[in-house]
Chain A
């Protein structure tokens, strides 16, 4: 079945350093979504990417969708302690009602 791999599993950074998490799918995706889950919380939707090669920015966060629509990345510039949490990518292989398949997530720790 469809698999979504995400690396790294953990990342510890000093406040102010950049951070990137990568997501790869075993199949071509219709769209990919990114979620953030704070410790003890539930996943919160960040963004959806649909187009091949799409790049979207949200303040210090930059999201990319690969040309082949099989990989994606989330880059955070100048991390802050508020960025702490686990970032999940989730992909859907078609535009219908199929469920999202989540990656294992990357847990980000930011040291002040």
Chain B
């Protein structure tokens, strides 16, 4: 149990286009999902906290108009990278926290974004 999927697993896009990444909790409900960004050989940097039915809370330095987050249901959150630039190329990982109260976070497999 506690499986989180992400789609796509990798994407290449041209500079200036937008890319949507989906994060789904497959066998549990998640009121809270987190979006992280990880550069090669670096740690996970929290971008935003996404709560179902409300606006996401962005970390300092993360542009909310560039990284649009929508958490429309208890099993789905999306991250849209708008007007992507090469510097947005990174590994984006989502995680979901079970509504049962456990503080364990289950991570998705990540999405490798390359902007050319």
Number of chain A residues close to chain B: CB under 8 A: 22
Smallest CB separation, B61 vs chain A (Å):
11
| Cβ-based interface call for A103 (8 A) | yes
Smallest CB separation, A12 vs chain B (Å):
15
Contacts of B49 in A (CB 8 A): 97, 99
Given contacts A42-B110, A45-B106, 6 further A-B contacts (CB under 8 A): A42-B93, A92-B103, A100-B46, A103-B43, A104-B43, A105-B43
A88 touches B105 (CB 8 A): no
Q: In the complex the two chains form, what is the Cα distance from A105 to B43 in whole Å?
A: 6
Question: Quick one: which of A35, A42, A92, A104 has the most chain B CB within 10 A?
Answer: A42
Contacts of A101 in B (CB 8 A): 46
Number of A-B contacts (CB under 8 A): 48
**B residues at A contact (CB < 8 Å):** 32, 34, 36, 41-46, 49, 51, 60, 93, 95, 97, 103-110
| Cβ-based interface call for A31 (8 A) | yes
If A42-B110, A99-B49 touch, whether A33 touches B103 (CB-CB below 8 Å) is: yes
Contacts of A95 in B (CB 8 A): 103
| Cβ-based interface call for A107 (8 A) | yes
| Cβ-based interface call for A22 (8 A) | no
